[in-house]
Structure 1
Amino acid sequence: MTANLDDGLGGRLEGVRHVLTLRIYYEDTDFSGAVYHANYLRYMERGRTEILRAIGFDHRKLWETVREGFVVRRMTVDYLRPARMDDVVAITTWVHDVKQASLTLGQSVTRDGETLVTGLAVCAYVREGRPVRMPERMRKEMARTE
């Protein structure tokens, strides 16, 4: 696998899983001090972006060069426990299924080994808003992470 994680910002590959670690800030929380539910979607998006980057693909470059990229078609999320300000959480992303024009990724948000949130994202690969086959190398690299 080609990993582009040299900047220290993109997390790390652990076997077939990508792990992105981040700290929870005050701005991430609601009035009760727990992470606002929609922010978990942002964290999970970062995880999905970084697993692509780790195998050598960049959303921006794909869009700028060939006007292609992923869009979330469906996402299921299960909120189990809250994260709070100053917690350090790990967003783990793995490939659940790879098809010609779609990718299903499993994700979890954990704190010290305790699962806080789980999710499953079905992402379609599109060009000009219509599904197309993802590049063969991308599909093969994602299939290798299963």
Structure 2
Amino acid sequence: MAQPGIDQPAAGRFDGAEHRFPVRVYFEDTDLSGVVYHPNYLRYMERARSDMLRIAGIDQRAAHEAGDGAYAIVDLAIRYRAPARLDDALLVVSTVTRASPASVVIHQTVRRGTVELTDADVTAALVAPSGRPVRQPRAWLAIYQRLIAANPTEGNA
């Protein structure tokens, strides 16, 4: 019988308003020169966002299975600053910066130690199975507002 917390996937953790998600660069993440292939930063960020939402109490799977909708990325601004390489230990830091009735904006950075490698602003909109935007559940908006308020750089903006 498995013990709780043992042999479970890493989900990262919250430190105040920041969700911190560690990742390691594997061979499959790199190009022939041993540098992380640029789309893989988006994969790291997606994993971090998904786990951040799960830990915060946003049940995307239940909403999707109930036919209430799913998040779709509707805007992405990404900046590449420095490369990551094979076997690097990275940290994806995610913070909610804005929330509206139908969307949420999350700022994400990928770091190696104190060096910021990549950062992005990601806007996800909740869309119905038809593809039309729908309102997020009030409970989700309340979670986002708490996270925004806990972020000293965003909560008072």
Q: Could you tell me the TM-score, scaled by structure 1's length?
A: 0.92
Q: Which whole-Å CA distance do the structure 2 matches of 1:98 and 1:67 have between them?
A: 18
Unaligned runs of 5+ in 2: 149-157
> The residue matched to 1:134 in structure 2 has which SS?
coil
Q: C-alpha offsets along residues 26-51 of structure 1, whole Å, 9 cap, x if unaligned?
A: 00001111000000011111111111
| AA matched with 1:34 | V
| Preserved contact between residue 57 and residue 143 of structure 2 (Cα < 8 Å) | no
Per the alignment, residue 3 of structure 1 pairs with none
When the two chains are superposed, the root-mean-square deviation of aligned CA atoms in Å is 1.2
> How much does 1:137 deviate?
0.5
Per the alignment, residue 144 of structure 1 pairs with 146
Unaligned runs of 5+ in 1: 1-5
> How much does 1:66 deviate?
3.1
Percentage identity across paired residues of the two chains = 37
Q: C-alpha offsets along residues 67-88 of structure 1, whole Å, 9 cap, x if unaligned?
A: 4121100101100001111101
Q: Which whole-Å CA distance do the structure 2 matches of 1:99 and 1:127 have between them?
A: 16
Q: Which whole-Å CA distance do the structure 2 matches of 1:57 and 1:122 have between them?
A: 16
Q: Which whole-Å CA distance do the structure 2 matches of 1:45 and 1:63 have between them?
A: 17
Q: Could you tell me the TM-score, scaled by structure 2's length?
A: 0.86
Q: C-alpha offsets along residues 123-144 of structure 1, whole Å, 9 cap, x if unaligned?
A: 1111121111100000110111
Within 5 A, what are the aligned runs for 1:1-146? 6=5, 7=8, 9-128=10-129, 129-146=131-148
Equivalent residues, number: 141
Q: Which whole-Å CA distance do the structure 1 matches of 2:9 and 2:147 have between them?
A: 21
Structure with greater strand percent: 1
Q: Which whole-Å CA distance do the structure 2 matches of 1:85 and 1:58 have between them?
A: 33
Q: Which whole-Å CA distance do the structure 2 matches of 1:8 and 1:42 have between them?
A: 16
Question: Which stretch shifts more, 51-60 or 18-27?
Answer: 51-60
Q: C-alpha offsets along residues 3-43 of structure 1, whole Å, 9 cap, x if unaligned?
A: xxx54511000100101101100000011110000000111
| Preserved contact between residue 95 and residue 107 of structure 2 (Cα < 8 Å) | yes
